[in-house]
Amino acid sequence: MTQEKTILVTNDDGIRSYGLIAAANALKDLGKVVIVASSVQKSGVGRSLSLFEPVRVSGVRIKEHEAYAVAGTPSDAVLLAEHAVLKRKPDLLVSGINVGENLSTDSVIPLGP
C-alpha cells in the first residue's frame, strides 16, 4: 500500500497570497497539499530566521487546503512545517507563485564551471 505524497506549499508573500493559493490548487491532484507560510508579506527576509522572538503557528482554512500561518519568516515557516506540522520532510516542496518581481540575485545558482 503506497502512502499519499505530501506536498508543502510556501512563499514569501504571505498566507493569503493569491499566487500561493494558485500553486496549491495546481498541485492538489498530485497528493496531499499542506500550506505553511508567513502570516504576512515577508519579501526580502525569506532566508532569515527569527532568533530572538517567539514564532507562533496558527491553523487557518484556505478553500479546501490545510494551511498554517506562521508569525515569522518564510524560513521559519519551512522549518516549522517539517518539524512541527508534518513531523517529517515533505515529498515535494513548492515555493511560489510569487506576486510581483523577484529582484534578488542570490537566488540564481550557477550550473557547472
**Boundaries of domain holding 36:** 6-95
Q: Is residue 54 part of a domain?
A: yes
pLDDT of residue 111: 60
Does 107 reside within a domain?
Answer: no
Asked if the structure places residue 106 within a domain, the reply is no
Q: How many domains does the chain have?
A: 1
Q: How many beta carbons lie within 10 A of that of residue 75, not counting itself?
A: 19
pLDDT exceeds cutoff 60 at 106: no
Residue-wise pLDDT tens digits, 13-33? 999 999 999 999 999 999 999
Domain assignment of residue 1, yes or no: no
Residue 105 scores a pLDDT above 90: no
Q: Judge whether residue 54 has pLDDT over 80.
A: yes
Give residue 96's pLDDT band: very low, low, confident or very high (50, 70, 90).
confident
Label residue 17 exposed, middle or buried (CB < 10 Å: 0-12, 13-18, 19+): buried
Q: Is 100's pLDDT higher than 70?
A: no
> HSE-up of 94 (CA within 13 Å, CB side)?
23
